[in-house]
């Protein structure tokens, strides 16, 4: 993590990319356990924490909102989804179709975050070259 206000947005993108990577691995684990009796799917909370951090302040400027985010408090949390109903007799609540859609969505988000970080660093590089 880079400690400069110039890199606040990049640091936030890095946290989001880490959360997406964690979610991707959790979903892969769900898919691997689709036939395990009694297995309960897991998921990751991050977007809610990010939204709370971004909207917690009273500033209207996006730059100030990003600068005010406490990155130490912004972590992805893995939880077990006991709420989803299991239609299977063995108690497993993994729906392979849902997991595949979630995995694809997470992969798209992760790639977009990496592209955004690359774009930010290219802008820094261009500014330094002039």
In tens, the pLDDT along 23-61 reads 999 999 999 999 999 999 999 999 888 888 877 755 566
Question: How many domains, in total, are found in the chain?
Answer: 1
Distance CA 76, CA 47 (A): 9
Residue in this structure with the two tokens 């912004």, named with its chain if needed: 74
The confidence score (pLDDT) of residue 80 equals 94
Distance CA 44, CA 55 (A): 20
pTM: 0.82
Range of the domain at 31: 5-129
Task: Give which of 110, 83, 124 is closest to 27, Cα–Cα.
Answer: 110
In whole numbers, what is the pLDDT of the chain averaged over residues? 87
Residue 120 has pLDDT above 60, yes or no: yes
């Amino acid at each position: 993590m880079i400690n400069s206000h110039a890199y606040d947005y990049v640091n936030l993108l890095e946290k989001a990319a880490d959360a997406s990577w964690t979610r991707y691995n959790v979903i892969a684990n769900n898919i691997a356990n689709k036939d395990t009796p009694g297995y309960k799917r897991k998921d990751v909370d991050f977007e809610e924490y990010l939204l709370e951090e971004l909207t917690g302040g009273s500033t209207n400027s996006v730059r100030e909102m990003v600068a005010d985010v406490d990155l130490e408090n912004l972590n992805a949390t893995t939880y077990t989804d006991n709420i989803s109903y299991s239609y299977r007799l063995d108690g497993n609540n993994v729906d392979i179709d849902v997991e595949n859609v979630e995995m694809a969505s997470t992969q798209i988000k992760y790639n977009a975050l990496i592209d955004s970080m690359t774009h930010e660093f290219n802008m820094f590089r261009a500014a330094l070259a002039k």
